[in-house]
Amino acid sequence: MSKANVEQVKAESRGLRGTLNEELENGDTFLSEAGKQLIKFHGSYQQEDRDARRGAERGPKQYHFMIRSKLPGGALTAAQYLVHDQIASLYGDETLRITTRQGIQFYGVIKGDLRNTIRTLNSALVTTFGACGDVVRNVMACPAPTSDPRHRVVQQTAHHLSAELLPRTKAYHQIWIEGEALLEEEEDPLYGKTYLPRKFKVAVAFPGDNCVDIFTQDVGLVALFDEQGAHLGFNVLAGGGMGMTHNNEETFPRLADVIAFIQPDRAVETVKGIVSIHRDFGDRGNRKHARLKYILHDRGVEWFREELQKRLSFALEAPRPMPAFKIQDHLGWHEQGDGRLFLGIPVENGRIHNREGLRLRDGLRAVIERFSPTIRLIAQQNILLADLDPHDRPAIEALLAEHQIKLVEQYSGVRRYGLACPALPTCGLAITEAERALPGVLDQIEDTLEQLGLLDDPIHIRMTGCPNGCARPYAAEIGLVGRSLNKYTIFLAGNAVGTRLNEVFLDLVSVDEIAATLRPVLTHYRENRHLGESFGDFCTRIGLETLRKITKAALSLPESRSA
């Protein structure tokens, strides 16, 4: 569907209703083109099994749906998690997937089960509304479940923003819960009739902890506190975003700019003001150029700050100093500060499932059913089990071991920090593999690192099956971005704390050659790094041109593999 037609579909949708209700009742296994666009706002994407397209004997398209729950700050109760787990068996493909925005996705839901799936989630007080589409998506927050009141400020801000930024239409409840889409159309003072030009991402960070990749967001709020822990307010960031298109210089990843400081009670008004700028000035003629980051790039930070000031009832203040960000992934056992513990469990690529040698889904269900922890999801696609009694620690560890679930101490540095998007076979945008390829790539890289004595080094690697950047590969120390079937562009020299973008290192590298291609760089890192220097900082200091020469000399690569 053309970009102009997407805008027309939104304008004529009667508050995101369209003909969705009627289409859910017909006998088709798929939605109309307009329906495919509108259902995104309700938290679902129509997909097909792209594996079925391959091979000599291609069958008919097998349509199914991905459904995404919206969980501000990644928080949910034990009962809500168990409802998600139940749905995966009742209507999905027997797996759950933690997203990079702290939500949960189901795959393989057929059209006839869409309403039952969403109703079941709704009965557990979980919504999917606004988890996708041209609106503010799930509001992220540092999920650390400590008794520190400063963390509660961060998490409560995310929940408050999420409620305030939800579209006002009643279409979601009418279609999915009541089963009839009434004709009334509500006035939405924030989104209007055509909503936003593109998706919009918001996160709230704890000072010094960039576990939400705050600089990659359309809007980021960094909470600031005084030495006594009193909340001073927020530094406001704007204009981050990861997506780009190969061979299109008008598209690019961008880190957010620090715009201003605001008082604690100004967060909602400020974020709404920024959303309205995107609504009014975003490029509705070209969806590849429609994110907020292009407004800041094209018009400048000073213009943006002045335009935002016009839309606010108070004066923006100059940004305040904030602590340097450090690596925080919240994995392992931690004291909460109230006598209880929380446990961060790694989930490779966010996929909660059972397979040979690992019964992750069964094990998590067993622990959650028995001990009823509070659940928090992490932007690195891992899971936290909180409010645990210290006396239960041995029993929990035994239950996890029984299901072959490893704790973080059993992970290498690269596997601990690895991220991948789903890509094939479900994503319609995927050029090549990511989630299914990264584990094998990490196996090979781990072999190299072990031989070099670097296995415990925390090197951040992220892989995506296309350049849209859903796993935020451009903010990683090593980014692997799908370029063509089984070939990737390698990006190097981002930093582990997400405050510097990486750069193109080599193009069109086969998936089977990634580890061998990186070996000369990793060897040079081992032999020439400074004490305590991270891999990304090392690459920046040495320079990518020098590292290319070293790699090409070691592997006899042709010039065509250059950036």
The pLDDT score that the predictor gives to residue 181 is 62
* CA–CA separation, 130 and 166 (whole Å): 7
CATH number for the domain running over 196-328: 3.30.413.10
CATH number for the domain running over 332-411: 3.90.480.10
Neighbours of 187 (CB within 10 A): 10
Per cent of the chain over pLDDT 70 is 96
User: 10, 70, 137, 340: which is the annotated catalytic residue?
Assistant: 137
3-class DSSP state of 200: strand
Beta bridge partners of 482: 488
Nearest Cα to Cα of residue 8 among 46, 34, 35: 34
Structure token digits, residue 419 = 């991220």
Nearest Cα to Cα of residue 83 among 121, 51, 48: 121
Q: In what order do the strands lie in the sheet with 487-492?
A: 419-420, 461-464, 478-484, 487-492, 503-510
113 torsion bin: left (phi>0), alpha (psi -120 to 50), beta (else): alpha
Please check the confidence at residue 561 and state whether its pLDDT lies above 70.
Answer: no
Tokens 């589409």 — which residue? 133
498 torsion bin: left (phi>0), alpha (psi -120 to 50), beta (else): left
Beta bridge partners of 66: 45
* CA–CA separation, 474 and 460 (whole Å): 11
Respond yes or no: is residue 211 known to be catalytic.
Answer: no
- Which residues have C-beta within 8 Å of that of residue 152, sequence separation ≥ 6? none
3-class DSSP state of 355: strand
Average of per-residue pLDDT values in the chain? 95
> Do the Cβ atoms of 477 and 419 come closer than 8 Å?
no
Nearest Cα to Cα of residue 6 among 184, 138, 133, 168: 133
> Do the Cβ atoms of 292 and 282 come closer than 8 Å?
yes
- For the chain, residues classed under CATH 3.90.480.10 are 332-411
User: 199, 291, 483, 548: which is the annotated catalytic residue?
Assistant: 199
Helices 292-299 + 301-310 axis angle, to 10: 110
Among 9-18, 86-95, 174-183, 461-470, which is the least confidently predicted range? 174-183
* CA–CA separation, 488 and 410 (whole Å): 29
**pLDDT tens track for 58-116:** 667 889 999 999 999 999 999 999 999 999 999 999 999 999 999 999 999 999 999 99
The pLDDT score that the predictor gives to residue 60 is 77
CB-side neighbour CA atoms (13 Å) of 365:
18
- Which residues have C-beta within 8 Å of that of residue 394, sequence separation ≥ 6? none
Q: How confident is the model at residue 560 (pLDDT cuts 50, 70, 90)?
A: low
Mean pLDDT over 436-460 rounds to 97
**pLDDT tens track for 9-39:** 999 999 999 999 999 999 899 999 999 999 9
3-class DSSP state of 389: coil
Looking at domain 414-561, does it have CATH number 3.30.413.10?
yes
DSSP-assigned letters across all residues of 209-232: B-TT-GGGSSEEEEEEE-TT--EE
User: 427, 462, 539, 548: which is the annotated catalytic residue?
Assistant: 427
> Do the Cβ atoms of 157 and 3 come closer than 8 Å?
no
User: 17, 68, 97, 101: which is the annotated catalytic residue?
Assistant: 68
- Which residues have C-beta within 8 Å of that of residue 161, sequence separation ≥ 6? 72, 136, 139, 202, 204, 267, 268, 271
> Do the Cβ atoms of 130 and 137 come closer than 8 Å?
yes
| CA distances for 550 relative to 227, 431, 543, angstroms | 48, 29, 11
User: 132, 142, 211, 466: which is the annotated catalytic residue?
Assistant: 466
Amino acid at 395: A
The pLDDT score that the predictor gives to residue 186 is 80
Nearest Cα to Cα of residue 534 among 487, 484, 498, 490: 498
* CA–CA separation, 539 and 524 (whole Å): 10
* CA–CA separation, 12 and 108 (whole Å): 29
User: 10, 101, 111, 201: which is the annotated catalytic residue?
Assistant: 201
* CA–CA separation, 440 and 45 (whole Å): 28
How large is the greatest C-alpha to C-alpha distance in the chain, in angstroms?
A: 69
Note the residue count of the chain: 563
**pLDDT tens track for 366-396:** 999 999 999 999 999 999 999 999 999 999 9
**pLDDT tens track for 226-250:** 999 999 999 999 999 999 999 999 9
User: 142, 211, 470, 539: which is the annotated catalytic residue?
Assistant: 470
* CA–CA separation, 232 and 220 (whole Å): 16
> Do the Cβ atoms of 452 and 522 come closer than 8 Å?
yes
**pLDDT tens track for 145-161:** 999 999 999 999 999 99
Mean pLDDT over 214-226 rounds to 98
Please check the confidence at residue 551 and state whether its pLDDT lies above 80.
Answer: yes
Query: What value does the CA radius of gyration of the chain take, rounded to a whole number of Å?
Result: 23
Bridge-based pairing of strands 140-141 and 478-484 is unpaired
Respond yes or no: is residue 199 known to be catalytic.
Answer: yes
Q: Which residue has the higher pLDDT, 125 or 560?
A: 125
Note the pTM of the prediction, 2 decimals.
Answer: 0.95
* CA–CA separation, 240 and 81 (whole Å): 31
Instruction: Kindly provide the b/e burial profile for residues 506-529, where b requires at least 16 CB atoms within 10 angstroms of the residue's own CB.
Output: bbebebebbbbbbbbbbbbbeeeb
3-class DSSP state of 507: strand
Beta bridge partners of 427: none
Please check the confidence at residue 562 and state whether its pLDDT lies above 60.
Answer: no
- For the chain, residues classed under CATH 3.30.413.10 are 196-328, 414-561
* CA–CA separation, 239 and 214 (whole Å): 11
